[in-house]
């Protein structure tokens, strides 16, 4: 049975990474809202850099698009130069935060323990966390995918209260597929995402696993979205490169239902 029939509304998130000025982001959102008029039964988010969040939230107000941040810090305020708290994001009208993206793990030393603290802070301040997990190419080749997920998922969820479980989203993003043009075969993505769901069940219970949306991310584009969304455990996608143009992103959002 597909996620939508289980009450998990499909979610498409565009991660802009370090692209688009505030003005470029605002005009993208205006054009996207127009391109998506009439789209129903799916949730749409874009994640601009911190500098574009205020403008993006203003422009997105009243449209079908909501705004996510690309990261969040776990403290509410304090002497943490360069960091931004969940309270500050919520104050701008931001609805969600991507946490533990592989680029943050790789370039900024983000650990599963940090992810757990950020997830907890996001939930405490009304933001929906989108937790990224996934194995590297070497780990996949070594047959260690299940082992990696069995570490990242429970630790990342370790501070989540059961009553908050429905507000958490996970994104399975195999590192070898991010920005490489090498999408995971839909069957491979389905298999890994079913492992993620099993880890959610073991950590937070079967009901939480039934409610939790799990996205796929890694070179998603107009050419593979329909096949990915036909998989029973894939509840949406996290999109990088193809999320930077209105044409390709709106085609992804308009995926065909199986
Ligand atoms: C990402 O940044 O999370 C991502 C999946 O990027 P891309 O779609 O470009 O592979």
CA of 238 to the centre of ligand 1 (A): 7
Q: Whose CA is nearest to atom 3 of ligand 1?
A: 240
> Is 258 within a domain?
no
Ligand 1, atom nearest to 220 Cα: 8
pLDDT recorded at residue 5: 59
Q: Provide the angle, in degrees to the nearest 10, between the axes of the packed helices 53-60 and 22-35.
A: 20
pLDDT recorded at residue 137: 93
Q: Which of 169, 180, 183, 218 to mutate to test the pocket of ligand 1 (most atoms within 8 A of CB)?
A: 218
CATH code of residue 223: 3.20.20.70
pLDDT recorded at residue 258: 72
Q: Which residue has the tokens 């949306």?
A: 213
Its domain, for residue 186, covers 2-253
pLDDT recorded at residue 190: 97
The number of domains in the chain is 1
Contact criterion met (CB below 8 Å) for 173 and 238: yes
d(CA 124, CA 8): 22
Contact criterion met (CB below 8 Å) for 66 and 95: yes
d(CA 28, CA 186): 29
- Summarised one tens digit per residue, pLDDT across range 34-65 is 999 999 999 999 999 999 999 999 999 999 99
Ranges under pLDDT 70 in the chain: 1-6
> Is 54 within a domain?
yes
Q: Which of 240, 249, 251 to mutate to test the pocket of ligand 1 (most atoms within 8 A of CB)?
A: 240
Q: How far is CA 7 from CA 11, 70, 258, in A?
A: 12, 26, 16
> Is 231 within a domain?
yes
Q: Is 240 in the pocket of ligand 1 (CB under 6 A)?
A: yes
> Is 117 within a domain?
yes
Q: Which of 100, 101, 219 to mutate to test the pocket of ligand 1 (most atoms within 8 A of CB)?
A: 219
Which backbone phi and psi does 194 adopt, to 5 degrees? -70, -30
> Is 26 within a domain?
yes
Q: Which residue has the tokens 């239902």?
A: 257
Contact criterion met (CB below 8 Å) for 117 and 86: no
> Is 145 within a domain?
yes
d(CA 88, CA 121): 12
CA of 17 to the centre of ligand 1 (A): 9
Q: Which of 14, 30, 27 has its CA nearest to residue 70? A: 14
pLDDT recorded at residue 2: 61
CA of 16 to the centre of ligand 1 (A): 9
Q: Which of 7, 19, 208, 177 has its CA nearest to residue 102? A: 177
d(CA 171, CA 181): 18
Contact criterion met (CB below 8 Å) for 236 and 11: yes
> Is 57 within a domain?
yes
> Is 240 within a domain?
yes
Q: Is 179 in the pocket of ligand 1 (CB under 6 A)?
A: yes
Tokens at 10, concatenated: 């499909």
């Amino acid at each position: 049975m597909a996620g939508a029939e289980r009450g998990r509304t499909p979610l498409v998130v565009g991660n802009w990474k370090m692209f688009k000025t505030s003005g470029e982001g605002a005009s993208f959102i205006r054009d996207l809202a127009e391109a998506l008029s009439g789209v129903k039964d799916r949730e749409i988010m874009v994640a601009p850099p911190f500098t574009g969040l205020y403008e993006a939230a203003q422009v997105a107000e009243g449209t079908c698009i909501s705004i996510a941040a690309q990261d969040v810090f776990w403290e509410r305020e304090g002497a943490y130069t360069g960091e931004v708290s969940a309270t500050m994001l919520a104050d701008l009208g931001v609805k969600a935060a991507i946490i533990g993206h592989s680029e943050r793990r790789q370039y900024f030393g983000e650990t599963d323990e940090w992810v757990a603290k950020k997830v907890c802070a996001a939930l405490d301040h009304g933001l929906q966390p989108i937790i990224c997990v996934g194995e590297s190419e070497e780990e996949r080749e070594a047959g260690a995918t299940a082992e990696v997920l069995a570490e990242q998922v429970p630790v990342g969820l370790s501070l989540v209260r059961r009553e908050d479980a429905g507000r958490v989203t996970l994104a399975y993003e195999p590192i070898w597929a991010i920005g490489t043009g090498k999408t995971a075969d839909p069957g491979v993505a389905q298999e890994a995402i079913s492992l993620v769901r099993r880890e959610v069940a073991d950590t937070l219970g079967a009901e939480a696993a039934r409610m939790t949306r799990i996205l796929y991310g890694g070179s998603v584009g107009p050419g593979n979205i329909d096949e990915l969304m036909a998989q029973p455990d894939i509840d949406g996608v996290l999109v990088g490169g193809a999320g930077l143009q209105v044409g390709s992103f709106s085609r992804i959002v308009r995926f065909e239902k199986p």
